[in-house]
Structures are given as structure tokens and as C-alpha cells.
Amino acid sequence: MIRRRPLLAAPLLGLALPAFAQSAGDWPNRPIRAVIPWPPGGSTDVLARLLTEQLGPKLGQSYVLENRPGATGNIGMEAIARAAPDGYTQGPATVANLSIAQFLYGKLPFNPVKDFDIISMHWELPNVFVVSAQHCPANTLMEFVAWAKERKQGVSFGSPGVGSTAHLCGANFCDRFKLDGQHVPFRGAAQVIPAMLSGDLTFALDNLASYIPVIAEGRLKAFAVTSPERWPTLPQIPVMAEAGAKDFVVTSWCTWVAPAGTPRPIIEKVNAAMKAVAEDPTVQQRFVQTGAKCVWSSPEKAAEWAAAQRPMFEEMVKISGARME
């Protein structure tokens, strides 16, 4: 059974920060590096670019984005963890990095709890259940389940990597409905989508942000989203409970982090800028259209959120049987 709290309130989660006790000095006085632990074109990359476009002018310096994909985000996260804690290296840390990796890997090159200073929540979005319009005759989630059970070859589902929410949701869906499901990991949604369109994959339960354009084009059929409420730009798509899969509420989410030991005044300066970004209705609309909600929190509330999510994802990892070394 997969249960969790509803989507984070946007743009507010947690109390406003107190007035700065210290100054961030002349920081930043040069461009800031943002390490993206995922490949270009995926939701994490797109949403990081949306954020940094807004943060740069507020902080008075530009962001230089550096994609460091691989090992379900671990390569990029290690790069952030090992960087100098001077505020000039930041980046997105997703649920996969902070609340899943420790249950998936026997050994990690970073400590999800100790090696990062969380600045704020960044975004949250649901996963979406999609199939190829050309290769799947079903038109609802339960029709898909009935069709899938009749397939002698079983079904396959794609994800951007072992241990991603797409992998865990797909595996848990197959376990729930007793489907013979084969997981096929890719580097990102940019590779999953063509494989589905060609008929090489049966379905995906992946981050909505990466799939909105293909759904809008009609090449993929969307049967349900994993949020507790329908998505505002896709009101015709039911949530999982409405589609027949009760207690299946799981969202992907992302924080914005810096290496542990980054001076608190710098953390607060970036946090204040992120709060201003999240309160901008135009920015909120851009995020929603992309498939996510721009959210903000205090550093403490973000750390509490990541900790509260860990028991649910520990259970999901066990069900999936995934293990990485």
C-alpha cells in the first residue's frame, strides 16, 4: 500500500526565515555552477533551468549548468558533495538521491543526510501512466490491466534508471495487479519515449513533466496520474484511485542543495531568492505548464520532508527487489 501526504503547498511550505543574523558579504561575485545529476532534456534538467533563469538575476550572477548524469543521479550528487562549500556549487537533489538511494545501494559515494545543506524545496510533480497510442488498444487503466494479463510475453516498462520513482512505481504497479512485468532502465525519459512509441516498451509510470508534449500530440495515451488530485493542465486524466488503483499516491520531488558546510548566510540568501521565485505567478504558471509545481520551504522543513518520505520508499524498494552495488 502506497500512501503519503498530499502535494506540497505551492509556493509555501514551512515558515518564513528570520532576518539574517549575518551577511553573505559580496557573495556571489562570480558565476555559480549548478550540477545537474541527470541528462539534458529530462524533467530535472528542464526544471533546474527554469529555476536558475530566475535565480541568477535575483542574486546578481548567472548560473552555469553542468550535466553529470549516471548511476541514478549518484555521479552528479557526488560532484556536489565533494565541491568546496563556498556557495559556488549548487544543484537539484531529487527524491531518488535523498530518500531512495540509501535503500537501493550497498555503498554510496555520498551520505544523503550528512553531505548536503538543503537550501529549499524546488519542485514536486506526479508520475503519469502512459502507453503508446499506436501499440496499445486499451483506453483506461483497468482495460490496460486486463489486456496486459492476456499477453503471453508479459509487459515491459521503462524508467530513467534503477531505483527511480518510475522504476519503483512500475514495479509496484505490476506487483499490485499481478502482472508479469519486465523493467527496462534507460538514461532518461528522452530514451524511454522513443522506445514506447516504437512498441519496444509497453508502458511507463514516469515523471509527468517529460511526457506532457507527447501526450498533447496524441502519440501517448495517459491513463492516470499519481498525485492525490488531478493535474490542473490535464484535468481529463484521473488520479490512480479514480482509475482503479487505490492507495497509489506517489510524487517525485526535488530540493535545491549545496555541499555540507556552506555558510548559513549564503544558504539563506539563496533561500530568500527561491521564495521570491516561487511566489511569482508567472513562474508558477511556467512550472505547471511544464508539468511540475514550483515549491519553497525553509531548509529545515525540506530536510524533514525528505526524512518523512524514506519509510515509504524503503518499502517500495523492497517490493521491487532492486539492489545496486
Predicted confidence at residue 21, as pLDDT, reads: 38
Query: Do 130 and 239 have their domain in common?
Result: yes
DSSP reduced 3-state for 200: coil
Do 118 and 46 lie in a common domain?
yes
Q: Could you tell me if residue 21 is inside a domain? A: no
At 139, which CATH number? 3.40.190.10
Q: Does 20 map to a domain?
A: no
**Same domain as 258, residue 163:** no
Over residues 85-118, the pLDDT tens digits come to: 999 999 999 999 999 999 999 899 999 999 999 9
pLDDT score for 20:
38
| Domain termination residue (choose one: 201, 220, 243) | 243
pTM: 0.84
| pLDDT at residue number 1 | 55
* Rounded Cα gap, residues 177 and 42, in angstroms: 29
Reduce the secondary structure of 234-280 to three states and give it as a string.
CCCCCEHHHHCCCCECCEEEEEEEEECCCCHHHHHHHHHHHHHHHCC
116 & 262 share domain: yes
Tell whether 154 and 137 lie within a shared domain. yes
| pLDDT < 50 positions in the chain | 5-7, 9, 12, 14-22
Tell me: do 132 and 236 sit in the same domain: yes
Q: What is the pLDDT of residue 40?
A: 87
Whether 88 and 160 share a structural domain: no
- Helices 264-278 and 43-59, axial angle in degrees (round to 10): 110
Nearest to 35 by CA among 46, 45, 47, 25: 45
Domain extent for 55: 32-124+253-320
Quick check: is 22 in a domain?
no
Please return the burial class of 62, using the count of CB atoms within 10 Å of its CB with bins 0-12, 13-18 and 19+: middle
Q: Look up the CATH number of the domain holding residue 259.
A: 3.40.190.150
Question: pLDDT tens, 232-283?
Answer: 889 999 999 999 999 999 999 999 999 999 999 999 999 999 999 999 999 9
pLDDT at position 51: 97
Residue 113's pLDDT is what?
95
* Total number of domains in the chain: 2
Strand bridging mode 155-159 / 181-185:
parallel
Residue whose C-alpha is closest to residue 61's, from 53, 50, 51: 53
